[in-house]
Amino acid sequence: MATRTSDANPAAVRQRQAQRGLTRLLIRDMRGLRRVIIPSRLEATVPVWIDAVHALVEQYGGASSALSADYYEAERIAAQAPGAFSVPVAEPPPDEKVENSLRWATKDLWPRDPEDPATTEAQRQPMGVRLEQAEKKAEAVAQKLVVDQGRDTVQEAVRRDRQATAWARSAALGACSFCKLLATRGAVYKQDTADFQAHDGCHCGVVPVFKGQRFELSDHAREWERLYREFAAPHSGDQLRRFRLALAEHGHLPAR
């Protein structure tokens, strides 16, 4: 008899919560490093800060992968998948990717000529404002780098495990319209057809589906799907905007 799973099964919800808890610890530690950046010595202190945050990304990324490996193994057992399988833990992101992401987050800190037409409004703000904005951007990109390692672990396991057939996206009630839209597609993501699309600050999860399992959308994902089909699907090129409006009008306000 086929077992059932969904984007809101208790294990998937616990996995998202565990990853969010990891994110909170990451951000706590990142905020403790803010004092490393000295505005009068940006050239000397920003690289030191980047190295320190990079170390945090490695530390918490490893924890994210470990949590996801445990989650996958538990879901495999719950699905009564036969045979032994060792979950491949995702590798950390390349050093260059981490450094480029953090340099992007801090690019507005560097002094610019306010009269230069190329200077943006963000770059004209006082240093305190620019530091706060850089911190928010850095937290968002670091969160994605960390949680992506957990998501990659589940995806790669699905690709390699002969007992796995697909994966689905699990989005929280407060997710953005983009994430909610992707969650309505269900278990259509096969082993070799798609990578996980995530934005900075995304907390969506990956739900593995195994042979003999039937995937069903949760009640809230079915409602998102209905809103999309009714209000957005017929309008090619304007679907995401219309979906966002429909979510807002029907009490499913996105977080961003």
At residue 135 the predicted structure's pLDDT band, cuts being 50, 70 and 90, is very high
pLDDT at 145 over 70: yes
Mean confidence (pLDDT) of the chain? 92
pLDDT of res. 255: 40
Which token pair is 256? Answer: 């961003």
The contacts of residue 132 (CB under 8 Å, 6+ apart) are none
Total residue length of the chain: 256
pLDDT of res. 245: 95
pLDDT at 254 over 60: no
pLDDT of res. 34: 93
Q: Are 185 and 169 in contact (CB under 8 A)?
A: yes
Read off the pLDDT of each residue in 130-152 and give the average, rounded to a whole number: 96
At residue 256 the predicted structure's pLDDT band, cuts being 50, 70 and 90, is very low
At residue 124 the predicted structure's pLDDT band, cuts being 50, 70 and 90, is confident
For 36, list phi and psi in degrees, rounded to 5: -65, -35
pTM assigned to the model: 0.90
Q: Which residue is it, tokens 């879901």?
A: 75
pLDDT tens column, 58-77: 999 999 999 999 999 999 99
At residue 114 the predicted structure's pLDDT band, cuts being 50, 70 and 90, is confident
- Largest Cα–Cα distance in the chain? 71
pLDDT at 191 over 60: no
Of the candidates 124, 128, 130, 150, the residue with the CA atom closest to the CA atom of residue 203? 150
pLDDT of res. 117: 83
Read off the pLDDT of each residue in 157-165 and give the average, rounded to a whole number: 95
Read off the pLDDT of each residue in 101-114 and give the average, rounded to a whole number: 91
pLDDT at 228 over 60: yes
Between 21-35, 105-119, 233-247, the lowest mean confidence (pLDDT) is in 105-119
